[in-house]
Copies of this chain bind each other. A is one copy, B any other.
């Protein structure tokens, strides 16, 4: 088990490379879904979340470019690689909840930003591998945390969690776990 943990730097680089391409495809769909959901939100909440998520978008892009350079990943490769089944299902799930409404989408989105990335970023940061560390530092940063905070404070306004929101959240937690597992086994990328 331990041999596959990013925190000791022993994750095989081809697994990370596979993951990074799938993640890039995920993030684009996620960002589209955020804007789609925001178009259905109360204006002050839409602006709060969009500002938090997109304000320092160039910082994430810089880390990304650096990792792409280190791993010789090009835009073309990302575009020509399909989604694996979990990634396809997860991104359609985000689009589906964006079409249902704003609080439903926030519930579906939170596990990715909060657990999937910020908590894991904090866990991995400090690893001996410079590539994994550059990745982790971004997600562990206070900059990234302020994005998560915007989602959580907006969710908090919706006092009661509806059955819709609970299902969205739980499914996304499962999708997060399945997403990492699919990367570990380098699932075939068959969906476009």
Contacts and interface: CB of A to CB of B under 8 A. Distances in A.
Interface of A: 28, 31-32, 35-36, 38-39, 43, 46-47, 50-51, 54-55, 57
Contact of A32 (B32, B36, B43, B50): B43
B55 A51 contact: yes
Nearest to A27: B43
B28 A43 contact: yes
B31 A43 contact: yes
Contacts of A39: 32, 35-36, 38-39
- The secondary structure that dominates the A interface is helix
A54 B45 CA distance: 12
Copy count, this protein chain: 2
A47 B57 contact: yes
B38 A35 contact: yes
Contact of A50 (B28, B43, B54): B54
Nearest to A36: B39
A191 to B, nearest CB: 19
B46 A57 contact: no
A43 B33 CA distance: 10
Nearest to A55: B55
